[in-house]
C-alpha cells in the first residue's frame, strides 16, 4: 500500500472527527428525548470527554503540520478537495483560535449563567442574571478579540462567522438597515389591511397523537426519510443527528392545532437539507451543511414561505378534516390562511409572526454588538432593550421576561448567532424567487401535495453543494444574484399587501 499523502491523511482524521461529532449528536438527541431524567451528570461527562477529543484532534500539532504540507502541495487535488482543504483549515482555525483555558472558563461561566437565567426567569428579574451575564460577556469579548486576530476578522465577525460563514457584519448590517427602513411601514399597512378582514378564532382542541399523525403524513409527502431518520415528540422542536440518521422532533399542544405542525415543517426543512448533502463527501468538512443561516433558510422556506402559503393550505385542509375530524367555516381555506398569517406586534420573538420577526432579530443584533464592544454595560440591558423594541416595533415589554430575559443565547455565550435567523429568512426568500422562476406550476404542485420539483431544485442548487462555497457565494451560485434583502421585501409586500 503506497503511503497516504498529507491530504489523504487529513481526510482520515476528519472522517474520525465526523464520527465523533455524529456520536455527540446522538448523545444530545438522547439527552433531550430518551435519557432518564436523573442521568444528566453521567451524560455531561460523556459529552465533555468527546468534545475534548474533538478539540484535541482539531488542534493537534500533527493536524496543523498535515494542513501545512497539504496546502503547500495542492496539485492533483480536485475542486471539491481544494474546497475541503479550505474547510479543514477553517475548522482548525476556529478551534485553535480560542485557548483551551478560555474555552474552559467560558464553559463554566456559561453553565452558571444558564442556571441563573432560569432563576431570573422564575423571578422575572434581570438583575439575578446580570453579574453572571457580565462575566460571560467579558470572556466572550476576550474570545472574540483573540479569535478575530487568528482569523483576520473583526471581533464580532469572528464570532458570527461560525453561523454565517463568509458573511460579514458590514453586509449583515446593510441588509438589516434596508429592512429597518421598510418594515415598520409594511407592518403598519398590513395591520390596517388585516384589520378589515381578520381571521376568526379556531377553537378546536386536537390531541397530540392526532396532530402527530397529520405531521407524519405531511413529512412523508415532503420526502422525510423515515428509514434513515426519526420523528419524535419532545418539549421543543429541534433537529439532531447526522445525514443518514437524522432526528426531528416537534412539540404538540392540544390547544393549538397548528404550532406543532409548523414546528415539524421547520425541522423537516433542515432534515431535507441534510438529506441532500453530497453523499461522496458526507464524512468530510466540505460535505456538511453551510451553517446555521443556510439551515434556517431551508427551515423558513418550508415553514413560512411554503407552509403558510395559500396552495399549501389547499393541500392541508382535507388533511385537517381527515385527521382532526374538523369542519365548519373557521376551517375554510381562507380562514386557515389568515390564521397562519395574522400579523401582530408583540414582545416575544418565539411567538412573532413572519412580518414582525425581523424586528426582534435586528434589536438583538444591535444590542449584542454594543454589549460586546463594551458600549452598553450589561446592567443597562433591560432599558436599552425596551427602548429599542419600542423604536423598531412600537412594542414596550411589560417585564424582563417579556424583554431581555426571553432568550438563553447570550447567557450561553452565543453572540453572533441571532443574525443567522434573520439572514436565513432573507436567503429563503431569494431562493424562493429564483425557484419560482425556474420551476413551472409551483402553486399547483404545492396544492396537490407534490413537492418533488421544489425539493429537486433545492437539492441541485443548494443542498448538493455542501460547504463548497461560503454563504454569499452559495446564494449567488444558486440564484445568479448577490445576496440581498430585496427579494425578501418583494415577497413580504406581495404576500401581506396583495394576498390577504
Kindly list the catalytic residues. 267
Q: Return the C-alpha cell found at 3.
A: 503511503
Largest CA distance in the chain: 76
Helices 418-438 and 486-493 cross at an angle (nearest 10°) of 70
Minimum CB distance to a copy of itself smaller for 227 or for 235: 227
Q: How far is the CB of 245 from a copy of itself (least distance, A)?
A: 4
Spatial distance between the Cα atoms of 193 and 335, rounded to a whole number of angstroms: 15
Stretch that binds a copy of itself, among 38-46, 75-83, 201-209, 313-321 (CB under 8 A): 38-46
Residue whose entry in the numeric block shows the C-alpha cell 499523502: 5
Secondary structure (3-state) at 289? coil
Restricted to residues 242-271, the positions that interact with a copy of itself (CB under 8 A) are 242-245
Stretch that binds a copy of itself, among 40-48, 61-69, 253-261, 455-463 (CB under 8 A): 40-48
H helix intervals, 309-380: 310-324, 333-340, 354-373
**Residue 45 binds a copy of itself (CB under 8 A):** yes
Minimum CB distance to a copy of itself smaller for 20 or for 80: 20
Could you give the angle at the alpha carbon of 256 between the alpha carbons of 235 and 216, nearest 5°?
65
CB-CB contact of 179 with 187 (8 Å):
no
Q: How far is the CB of 274 from a copy of itself (least distance, A)?
A: 12
Q: How far is the CB of 390 from a copy of itself (least distance, A)?
A: 46
Spatial distance between the Cα atoms of 281 and 50, rounded to a whole number of angstroms: 23
The helix or strand, by DSSP H or E, that contains position 151, with its residue range, turns out to be: helix 126-151
Of 237, 258, 270, which Cα lies nearest the Cα of 428?
A: 270
Minimum CB distance to a copy of itself smaller for 232 or for 460: 232
Q: Return the C-alpha cell found at 190.
A: 398590513
Q: How far is the CB of 60 from a copy of itself (least distance, A)?
A: 13
Residue whose entry in the numeric block shows the C-alpha cell 423604536: 391
CB-CB contact of 154 with 148 (8 Å):
yes
Minimum CB distance to a copy of itself smaller for 220 or for 477: 220
**Residue 30 binds a copy of itself (CB under 8 A):** yes
* Size of interface with a copy of itself, in residues (CB under 8 A): 37
Residue whose entry in the numeric block shows the C-alpha cell 482543504: 85
**Residue 34 binds a copy of itself (CB under 8 A):** yes
CB-CB contact of 494 with 340 (8 Å):
no
Q: How far is the CB of 37 from a copy of itself (least distance, A)?
A: 6
Minimum CB distance to a copy of itself smaller for 18 or for 360: 18
Stretch that binds a copy of itself, among 35-43, 64-72, 76-84, 97-105 (CB under 8 A): 35-43
Q: How far is the CB of 148 from a copy of itself (least distance, A)?
A: 30
Minimum CB distance to a copy of itself smaller for 58 or for 492: 58
Restricted to residues 10-29, the positions that interact with a copy of itself (CB under 8 A) are 15-16, 18-20, 22-23, 26-27
Q: How far is the CB of 70 from a copy of itself (least distance, A)?
A: 21
**Residue 36 binds a copy of itself (CB under 8 A):** yes
**Residue 46 binds a copy of itself (CB under 8 A):** yes
Residue 239 forms beta bridges with which residues? 248
**Residue 53 binds a copy of itself (CB under 8 A):** yes
Give residue 135's Cα distance to chain centre. 26
Minimum CB distance to a copy of itself smaller for 46 or for 450: 46
The helix or strand, by DSSP H or E, that contains position 240, with its residue range, turns out to be: strand 239-242
Minimum CB distance to a copy of itself smaller for 231 or for 337: 231
Contacting residue, 5, 6, 28, 35, with a copy of itself by CB under 8 A: 35
Spatial distance between the Cα atoms of 240 and 248, rounded to a whole number of angstroms: 6
Stretch that binds a copy of itself, among 31-39, 64-72, 189-197, 325-333 (CB under 8 A): 31-39
Q: Return the C-alpha cell found at 19.
A: 464520527
Residue 242 forms beta bridges with which residues? 245
CB-CB contact of 360 with 349 (8 Å):
yes
183-189-190-194 Cα dihedral, nearest 10 degrees: 160
In this structure, the strands spanning 239-242 and 245-250 are antiparallel
Residue 453 forms beta bridges with which residues? none
Contacting residue, 89, 105, 228, 345, with a copy of itself by CB under 8 A: 228
Q: How far is the CB of 44 from a copy of itself (least distance, A)?
A: 10
> At residue 240, what are phi and psi to the nearest 5 degrees?
-135, -175
Distance set, CA 411 to CA 186, 268, 300 (Å) = 33, 28, 25
**Residue 227 binds a copy of itself (CB under 8 A):** yes
Minimum CB distance to a copy of itself smaller for 283 or for 470: 283
In this structure, the strands spanning 229-233 and 245-250 are parallel
Q: How far is the CB of 250 from a copy of itself (least distance, A)?
A: 17
**Residue 41 binds a copy of itself (CB under 8 A):** yes
**Residue 196 binds a copy of itself (CB under 8 A):** no
The contact pattern for a copy of itself, residues 268-297, with x = CB under 8 A and - = no contact, is ---------------x--------------
Q: Return the C-alpha cell found at 88.
A: 479543514
Binding-site ranges for a copy of itself (CB under 8 A): 15-16, 18-20, 22-23, 26-27, 30, 34-39, 41-43, 45-46, 48-50, 52-53, 225-230, 242-245, 283
Amino acid at each position: 500500500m503506497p503511503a497516504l499523502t498529507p491530504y489523504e491523511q487529513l481526510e482520515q482524521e476528519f472522517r474520525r472527527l465526523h464520527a465523533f461529532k455524529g456520536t455527540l449528536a446522538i448523545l444530545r438527541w438522547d439527552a433531550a428525548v430518551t435519557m432518564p431524567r436523573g442521568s444528566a451528570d453521567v451524560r455531561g461527562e460523556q459529552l465533555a470527554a468527546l468534545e475534548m477529543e474533538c478539540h484535541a484532534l482539531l488542534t493537534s500539532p500533527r493536524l496543523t503540520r498535515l494542513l501545512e504540507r497539504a496546502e503547500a502541495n495542492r496539485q492533483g487535488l480536485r475542486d471539491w478537495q481544494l474546497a475541503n482543504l479550505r474547510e479543514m483549515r477553517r475548522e482548525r482555525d476556529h478551534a485553535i483560535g480560542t485557548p483551551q483555558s478560555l474555552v474552559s472558563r467560558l464553559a463554566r461561566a456559561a453553565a452558571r449563567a444558564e442556571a441563573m437565567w432560569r432563576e431570573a426567569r422564575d423571578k422575572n428579574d434581570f438583575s439575578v442574571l446580570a453579574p453572571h451575564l457580565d462575566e460571560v460577556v467579558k470572556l466572550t469579548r476576550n474570545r472574540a478579540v483573540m479569535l478575530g486576530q487568528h482569523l483576520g476578522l473583526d471581533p464580532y465577525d469572528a464570532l458570527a462567522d461560525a453561523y454565517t460563514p463568509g458573511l460579514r457584519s458590514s453586509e449583515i448590517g446593510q441588509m438589516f438597515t434596508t429592512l429597518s427602513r421598510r418594515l415598520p411601514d409594511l407592518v403598519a399597512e398590513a395591520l390596517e389591511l388585516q384589520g378589515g378582514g381578520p381571521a376568526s378564532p379556531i377553537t378546536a382542541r386536537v390531541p397530540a397523537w392526532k396532530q402527530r399523525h397529520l405531521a407524519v403524513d405531511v413529512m412523508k409527502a415532503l420526502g422525510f426519510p423515515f428509514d434513515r431518520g426519526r420523528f419524535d415528540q419532545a418539549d421543543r422542536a429541534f433537529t439532531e443527528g447526522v445525514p443518514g440518521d437524522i432526528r426531528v422532533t416537534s412539540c404538540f399542544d392540544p390547544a393549538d392545532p397548528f404550532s406543532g405542525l409548523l414546528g415539524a415543517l421547520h425541522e423537516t426543512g433542515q432534515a431535507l437539507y441534510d438529506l441532500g448533502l453530497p453523499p461522496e463527501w458526507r464524512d468530510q468538512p466540505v460535505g456538511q451543511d453551510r451553517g446555521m443561516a443556510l439551515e434556517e433558510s431551508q427551515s423558513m422556506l418550508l415553514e413560512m414561505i411554503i407552509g403558510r402559503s395559500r396552495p399549501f393550505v389547499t393541500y392541508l385542509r382535507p388533511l385537517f378534516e381527515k385527521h382532526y375530524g374538523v369542519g365548519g367555516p373557521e376551517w375554510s381555506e381562507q380562514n386557515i390562511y389568515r390564521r397562519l398569517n395574522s400579523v401582530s406586534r408583540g414582545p416575544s420573538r418565539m411567538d412573532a409572526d413572519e412580518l414582525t420577526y425581523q424586528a426582534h432579530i435586528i434589536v438583538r443584533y444591535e444590542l449584542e454588538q454594543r454589549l460586546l464592544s463594551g458600549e452598553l454595560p450589561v446592567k443597562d440591558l433591560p432599558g436599552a432593550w425596551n427602548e429599542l423594541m419600542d423604536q423598531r416595533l412600537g412594542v414596550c415589554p411589560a417585564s424582563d421576561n417579556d424583554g431581555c430575559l426571553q432568550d438563553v443565547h447570550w447567557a450561553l455565550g452565543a453572540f453572533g448567532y441571532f443574525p443567522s435567523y434573520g439572514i436565513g429568512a432573507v436567503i429563503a426568500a431569494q431562493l424562493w424567487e429564483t425557484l419560482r422562476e425556474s420551476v413551472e406550476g409551483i402553486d399547483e404542485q404545492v396544492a396537490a401535495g407534490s413537492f418533488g420539483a421544489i425539493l429537486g431544485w433545492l437539492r441541485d442548487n443548494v443542498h448538493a453543494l455542501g460547504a463548497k462555497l461560503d454563504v454569499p457565494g452559495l446564494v449567488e451560485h444558486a440564484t445568479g444574484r448577490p445576496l440581498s434583502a430585496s427579494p425578501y421585501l418583494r415577497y413580504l409586500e406581495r404576500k401581506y399587501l396583495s394576498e390577504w
